[in-house]
């Protein structure tokens, strides 16, 4: 993401007279709870800044255009038991052990691939956190499993919640965070013009990005930035210099093109 910011900062400094009216927006808290998102905060407090015909997010996309994004829903499943000394485990009821059937269900889950406006979005339902226990010699009486559902943009947040609750029927499910997806948004003339400038075919964005916020405002938006999304949050995360240079070149040419 820093590489995308570097590209935008360089262009913001150097393009004294672009052929379109450009607003450069840099913000914080993109990958945390949606209520903390900096772009959302701008939409609430400085809405005129986000009036636009088109938006480009510097999200890692291998320097190719990725359309739309999956939605995201995070829930917690809570199991309860009865505390006991671990030396007499049979006198208690282990809440962590009670999560085993849920974990098995998740391990056997086969994600769908859903085509939306010509792009195929792969879904995902994954355990991303487990907590429980009060001491190393105590049988836990409570455990919490955090699950993240990445859903295709043909579904609403309500649809996603309904599917998750049905999947975990019989368990206490609490929604802790949710954000809608966005359809590809490639039908507008300006989006098609930018796709032609980038070249190649558009791909789907599997993760959630702030194209969804622009989409909710009625503004077509796409993902275009340096970096391989498959390396995000991995130990060997890196960005090829060639992709940084390509993104800078494409954006510079598009922002200075004669549209008369």
Q: Is 75 found in the same domain as 65?
A: no
Is residue 52 a part of any domain in this protein? yes
Residue 183 in this model has a pLDDT that exceeds 80: yes
- Residue 33 binned pLDDT confidence (cut-offs 50, 70, 90): confident
Residue that is last in its domain, among 159, 179, 199: 179
Average pLDDT, the chain: 94
Write out pLDDT tens, residues 55-66: 999 999 999 999
User: How many structural domains is the chain composed of?
Assistant: 2
For residues 141-158, give the mean pLDDT. 97
Residue 260 in this model has a pLDDT that exceeds 80: no
What does the alpha-carbon distance between residue 215 and residue 75 come to, in Å, rounded to a whole number? 24
Rounded to whole angstroms, the maximal C-alpha distance in the chain is 82
Write out pLDDT tens, residues 191-217: 999 999 999 999 999 989 999 999 999
Share of the chain above pLDDT 90, in %: 90
DSSP-derived secondary structure for 19-47:
SS-------S-TTS-GGG-HHHHHHHH-G
Residue that is last in its domain, among 179, 206, 239: 179
CB 221 within 8 Å of CB 209: no
Task: Report long-range pairs for 126-132 (Cβ below 8 Å, ≥24 apart).
Answer: 127/103, 128/74, 130/96, 130/99, 132/95, 132/96, 132/99
Write out pLDDT tens, residues 155-179: 999 999 999 999 999 999 999 999 9
What does the alpha-carbon distance between residue 244 and residue 38 come to, in Å, rounded to a whole number? 24
Is residue 260 a part of any domain in this protein? no
Q: Is 111 found in the same domain as 45?
A: no
Domain that holds residue 228: 2-69+182-255
Residue that is last in its domain, among 179, 204, 229: 179
CB 109 within 8 Å of CB 124: no
Q: Any idea what the CATH number is for the domain that residue 44 is in?
A: 3.40.630.10
| More confident position, 168 or 232 | 168
pLDDT number for residue 36:
86
Residue 32 in this model has a pLDDT that exceeds 80: no
Write out pLDDT tens, residues 233-259: 899 999 999 999 999 999 999 999 987
* pTM for the model: 0.88
* Nearest Cα to Cα of residue 62 among 253, 243, 249: 243
Q: Is 83 found in the same domain as 171?
A: yes
What does the alpha-carbon distance between residue 10 and residue 20 come to, in Å, rounded to a whole number? 17
Q: Is 18 found in the same domain as 40?
A: yes
Q: Which residue has the tokens 């930035």?
A: 225
Between 241-255 and 189-198, two packed helices, what is the crossing angle to 10 degrees?
140
Write out pLDDT tens, residues 69-126: 999 999 999 999 999 999 999 999 999 999 999 999 999 999 999 999 999 999 999 9
């Amino acid at each position: 993401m820093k590489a995308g910011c570097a590209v935008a900062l360089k262009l913001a400094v150097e393009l004294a007279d672009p052929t379109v009216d450009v607003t450069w927006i840099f913000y914080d808290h993109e990958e945390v709870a949606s209520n903390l998102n900096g772009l959302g905060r701008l939409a609430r407090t400085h809405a005129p800044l986000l009036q636009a015909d088109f938006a480009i997010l510097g999200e890692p996309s291998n320097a190719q255009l990725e359309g739309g994004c999956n939605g995201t829903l995070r829930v917690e499943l809570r199991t309860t038991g009865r505390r006991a000394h671990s030396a007499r485990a049979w006198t208690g009821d282990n809440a962590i052990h009670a999560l085993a059937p849920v974990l098995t269900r998740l391990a056997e889950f086969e994600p769908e691939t859903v085509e939306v406006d010509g792009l195929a979005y792969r879904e995902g339902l994954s355990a991303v956190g487990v907590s429980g226990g009060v001491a190393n010699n105590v049988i836990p009486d409570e455990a919490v499993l955090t699950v993240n559902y990445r859903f295709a943009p043909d579904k609403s947040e309500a649809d996603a919640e309904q599917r998750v609750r049905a999947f975990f029927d019989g368990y206490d499910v609490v929604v802790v965070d949710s954000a809608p997806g966005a359809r590809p948004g490639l039908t507008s003339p300006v989006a098609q013009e930018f796709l032609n400038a980038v070249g190649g075919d558009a791909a789907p964005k599997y993760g959630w990005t702030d194209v969804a916020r622009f989409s909710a405002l009625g503004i077509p938006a796409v993902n275009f930035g340096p970096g391989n999304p498959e390396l995000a949050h991995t130990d060997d995360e890196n960005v090829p210099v060639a992709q940084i240079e390509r993104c800078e070149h494409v954006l510079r040419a598009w922002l200075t093109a004669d549209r008369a």
